[in-house]
Homo-oligomer: A and B are copies of this chain.
Amino acid sequence: MTTKWAERYASRVEKMQSSAIREILKITQEPDIISFAGGLPAPELFPVQRIMEASQHALEEQGSTALQYTITEGYPPLREMIVEHMGRYGINCDINNILITAGSQQALDLIGKVFLDAGDNIMVEQPTYLGAIQAWNVYDVQYVTVPTDDDGMLIDGLEQALETNKAKFIYAMPNFQNPMGISTPSVRRKEIVRLADHYNMPIVEDDPYGQLRYEGDDELPLIALDAQLRAENSERFTTGNVIYLSTFSKTLCPGFRVAWVTAPEDVIFRLVQAKQAADLHTGTLAQVVAHETARDGFIEKHVAELRRVYGERRDLMLSLLEELFPPGVTWTRPKGGLFLWIRLPEGMNSTELLKKAVEQKVAFVPGSPFYPLGGGENTMRINFSNALPEQIEEGMKRLAAVIKAAMQSSNP
């Protein structure tokens, strides 16, 4: 009998979109396309030599640990290093507050598994990170969007959303947000934390890019501000209101798939249970090599180099936007991260534009998939970390020409 697979899938399969990111990665693999589409780090900056030495050392010194099964929580020396490292960013916790995940994408999925029942609401910035929407759509949830300006969530908008909606948590990316590249100033961060506390609403703080700052001073993450608020009321960290995610994907390399969650112990316990059923643990060799690579101050030096190079690419891209792009097109001016955000004149459609752009061998991500309730058809996300300066120049020329042509044909 011929097997009819389509009749057998779970109902949640309808919620799984064929990912825009996936299609984008396919485009970027064609060699003659200049792609500003992915969120890829610059491969020429990968610390290959250091990773080679780290791999050799890890395998020589502790091959039988690095190649064996390990505990779900993750390799203890790596978690200890993360605890120490986060202390410098104002986050005080211990090893029991850390779970190593297979990239931050897995952390988003595990949070979904542990928190989301069908029909639950999640409060998100509008626009918000596409990968989070993909992770959580599987759990059949709905979104409450909070309006943003170029300093992040509008506090009035957040308060109104909290007043009128039940939700499981607020999802926020205060540092160099994906997709817009914007960051939230301290005064507004404190308001977000205070409101979340007042409405007893947890925050999932996603911080993949926090260390990649090209101007200004570091701002305390929401998890640290929440701890300050609690310290004023003599509460312990473990009663905190924030689940914090970060990763080595942007500071060392994505190919390790090593990221982490910082959260109160009870939340970590539940996430560990979910992870155990999902994949037992994150790759041991990758964890041991990530630790060996990052240790003894290497990652700090390496991040300083990334800041310098990515900062130059951001500056180049901003100057090309200024020079080449027609009036009516606006963009964000990120202080860090990997992306900037372009707004075309109202009525233009960036998904249509992408087809023409790919014909001209340049790619970006249309903005509308970042709007879970629809909208943003005239927006687009541009990556400035992956391409070389000469590719950025050529690609931005192509893109400007495509946009000008589209604007002329829509206003003949």
Contacts and interface: CB of A to CB of B under 8 A. Distances in A.
A206 to B, nearest CB: 14
A256 B283 contact: yes
A266 interface: yes
A19 B168 CA distance: 26
Given A46-B67, A55-B56, A270-B16, A3 B241 contact: yes
A256 B285 contact: yes
Interface in A122-172: 131, 134-135, 137-139, 168-169
B63 A3 contact: no
B63 A276 contact: no
Nearest to A285: B255
A69 B266 contact: no
Interface residues of A, number: 93
Nearest to A41: B68
A49 to B, nearest CB: 9
A288 to B, nearest CB: 8
Given A43-B67, A102-B102, A282 B257 contact: yes
What is the interface of chain A mostly: helix, strand, loop, or mixed?
Answer: helix
A16 to B, nearest CB: 4
A68 B43 contact: yes
Most chain B CB atoms below 10 A, which of A72, A113, A135, A139: A113
A309 to B, nearest CB: 15
B46 A3 contact: no
A187 interface: no
Contacts of A103: 279-280
Contacts of A168: 8
A332 interface: no
A257 B278 CA distance: 12
A304 to B, nearest CB: 19
Interface in A299-331: none
A88 interface: no
A90 interface: no
Contact of A46 (B2, B63, B270, B272): B63
A38 interface: yes
A270 B56 contact: no
A292 B285 CA distance: 15
B137 A277 contact: yes
A43 B64 contact: yes
A95 interface: no
A254 interface: yes
Interface stretch (A177-185, A194-202, A350-358): A194-202
A42 to B, nearest CB: 9
B67 A105 contact: no
A273 interface: yes
Contacts of A71: 22, 25-26
Interface of A: 1-6, 8-13, 16-19, 21-22, 25-26, 38, 40-41, 43-44, 46, 48, 51-52, 55-56, 59-60, 63-64, 66-72, 102-103, 105-106, 109, 113-117, 120, 131, 134-135, 137-139, 168-169, 197-198, 200, 202, 235, 239-241, 253-257, 264, 266-267, 270, 272-274, 276-286, 289
Given A1-B198, A48-B59, 20 more contacts: A1-B197, A3-B200, A10-B117, A21-B280, A22-B71, A25-B71, A44-B64, A46-B67, A51-B59, A52-B63, A55-B55, A67-B254, A102-B282, A103-B279, A106-B278, A109-B277, A109-B278, A131-B277, A253-B285, A254-B284
24 contacts: A3-B241, A5-B267, A9-B270, A10-B115, A10-B139, A11-B117, A19-B273, A21-B276, A41-B68, A44-B64, A48-B59, A67-B253, A67-B254, A67-B255, A67-B256, A68-B255, A102-B102, A102-B283, A106-B278, A106-B279, A138-B274, A255-B283, A256-B285, A285-B285
